[in-house]
Amino acid sequence: MADFNKILDAGDVDGGEINVVVEIPTGSNHKIEWNRELACFELDRVEPVAFAKPCNYGFIPQTLDEDGDELDALIITDQPLTTGIFLKAKVIGVMKFVDDGEVDDKVIVVPADDRNNGNAYNSLDDLPKQLIKQLEFHFNHYKDLKKAGTTKVEGFFDAEEAKKVIKESQKRWVEKV
């Protein structure tokens, strides 16, 4: 029988293997978000097709970024993942990001047990350079077709910096939720 007192947490941050919940599959222009109050996913908006997500997009449970939402994760896989699933993920870096003046960092992860790729991605340096350029372009420009809003990618940093961001977000979760 299930123990309903257990809830999904961030996982083993120090060990670099965390839990991530998928919100948006690669290639989707549907901005799907976790609604913490209703405990379900909701369609927040439909983005222009030109700004479909270049990778799977999700969040790390029991974390809060400085913008008040769960800490975001960019999940690198060969195929789109389904909204609502969770996976054990290996932390490989973080994209420092500012959205409308608020810190909205994105932890970059790959599946922890990615045997098909031989766990080839262990750091940001292992990712294709074109993918990094696509991520940077997407997040710097996805609001360009809207009347309001500014975004800025401030850089890409290693797994140790990502772990610091996660731990700060865990602390914020404990303090605010």
Residue list, annotated binding site for Mg(2+): 67, 72, 104
Measured between alpha carbons, how far is residue 112 from residues 76, 92, 107, 134 in Å? 11, 10, 14, 23
Tokens of 147: 């009347």
Annotated binding site: 31, 45, 57, 67, 72, 104, 142
β-partners of residue 86 are 21
Token duo for residue 156: 């890409």
8 A C-beta contact, residue 27 and residue 40: no
Distance between the two ends of the chain, CA-based, in angstroms? 28
**What residue numbers does the annotated binding site for substrate cover?**
31, 45, 57, 142
